[in-house]
Amino acid sequence: MATIRDVARLAQVSAGTVSNVLNRPSYVREDTRERVLAAIRELDFVPNQSSRQFRPGRVRTLGLAIANLDNPFFVDVALGAEERCKELGVGVIFCNSGYDPVREQQNLDLLVQSRVQGIIIAPVDEQSPRLEMLRDRGVPMVFVDRVGDDRDCWSVVVDDFEGGRLGARHLVTAGHRRIAFLGHPEQSPKVRTRLAGARSVVDAEPGVELELLEADSWTIEAGRASADRLIRRRPEERPTAVFCANDMLALGLEQQLLHEGMVVPDEIAIVGYDDLEWASVSSVPLTTVSQPRHGLGRTAVDMIMDLLSRTSSRVPAANHVVLRPELVLRESA
């Protein structure tokens, strides 16, 4: 069986560098890291340290790496996870990646060094090779919200295609024929899926149009900027309803439209997505597609505990749990 010194000799680095590649990859230059990883693959090296770090013990601690805790959606997911951990007597370490893939890599390194038994992650970059490397090293991981069922992993997500259908179906049923979808599908697979669900409804309805209004982020400010662009249009060129990719966009859109004297929903109806706590207390309470945010966090904890309880021979290659969204009707649409 190959040792860490065998890897170091083949890669022409020190044993300490090999250790850093395994435990603190962001500390090692990319070319050196790739040389060490190639040596690991060639020698079929399996570090004993990995099995020690992630073997379930009497006192368990989980790591939770969240894409961005500035987004209230992810705060609720994290609170749901914390709530379930408390019920199970499990510790949890939170890391906020701030939508920064480099910071996410550093957070993952920190969790590995902290010897957590498993990692729950809402990833910034779901295609990151770091995630694949951790999985190959035997680190138990559950992905939350941002990974589809095409990945060989354990994950829990919400059915965004169905969520898109719910929002669009409500607007079509209410009689709207000029509908806009506000979001950034080129930047987010989740937004693309919600848009695809909305289009599947609109395409089946003769005379109904769906326009894409691009936003550069998920934020309230992006919603306000979109409202300004709509207000500059002639009334006959405006959509009569806007389906927003999340509640933050919807709230910003609504605030700015009301500020400019427009009437919601009489002039423009608005549907959001998430059902944040703020949605029900906005100036015009927001109709929205509700995601089980706490449920995502709680389910992820149950999944990682299930994963930790299995032997490697019994762990299925993939396990995807899909939660269903619901439409919440209020005054905005």
Residues of the chain above pLDDT 70, percent:
92
* Mean pLDDT for the chain overall: 88
The residue range of the domain holding 112 is: 50-159+294-324
Helix (H) / strand (E) containing 175 = none
Same domain, 173 and 63: no
Please write the tens of the pLDDT for every residue from 295-312: 999 999 999 998 888 755
Q: 180: Cβ–Cβ under 8 A, 6 or more apart, which residues?
A: 210, 211, 212, 213, 230, 239, 241, 242, 243
What are the residue ranges of helices labelled H in 148-188?
160-173
Question: Strand pairing partners for 271?
Answer: 243, 287
Residue 133 belongs to a domain: yes
Could you identify the residue written with the tokens 């914390």?
82
Please write the tens of the pLDDT for every residue from 74-83: 999 999 999 9
As a whole number of angstroms, the distance between CA 274 and CA 46 comes to 42
Residues of the chain above pLDDT 90, percent:
60
**Residue 112's pLDDT is what?**
83
Same domain, 73 and 113: yes
**Residue 46's pLDDT is what?**
65
Any idea which of 99-113, 265-279, 288-302 has the lowest mean pLDDT? 99-113
Confidence at 55, pLDDT banded by 50, 70, 90? very low
Same domain, 100 and 81: yes
Same domain, 229 and 285: yes
As a whole number of angstroms, the distance between CA 187 and CA 241 comes to 23
Same domain, 154 and 300: yes
Angle between helical axes of 4-11 and 15-23 (0-180°, round to 10): 110
More confident call, 165 vs 52: 165
Pairing of strands 287-290, 326-328: antiparallel
Same domain, 188 and 226: yes
Residue 11 belongs to a domain: no
Confidence at 313, pLDDT banded by 50, 70, 90? very low
Same domain, 244 and 154: no
Residue 30 belongs to a domain: no
- Residue 2: pLDDT over 50: yes
Q: What is the pTM of this model?
A: 0.78
Total domains in the chain come to 2
Report the CATH number at residue 70.
3.40.50.2300
Backbone angles phi, psi at 133, to 5 degrees: -65, -45
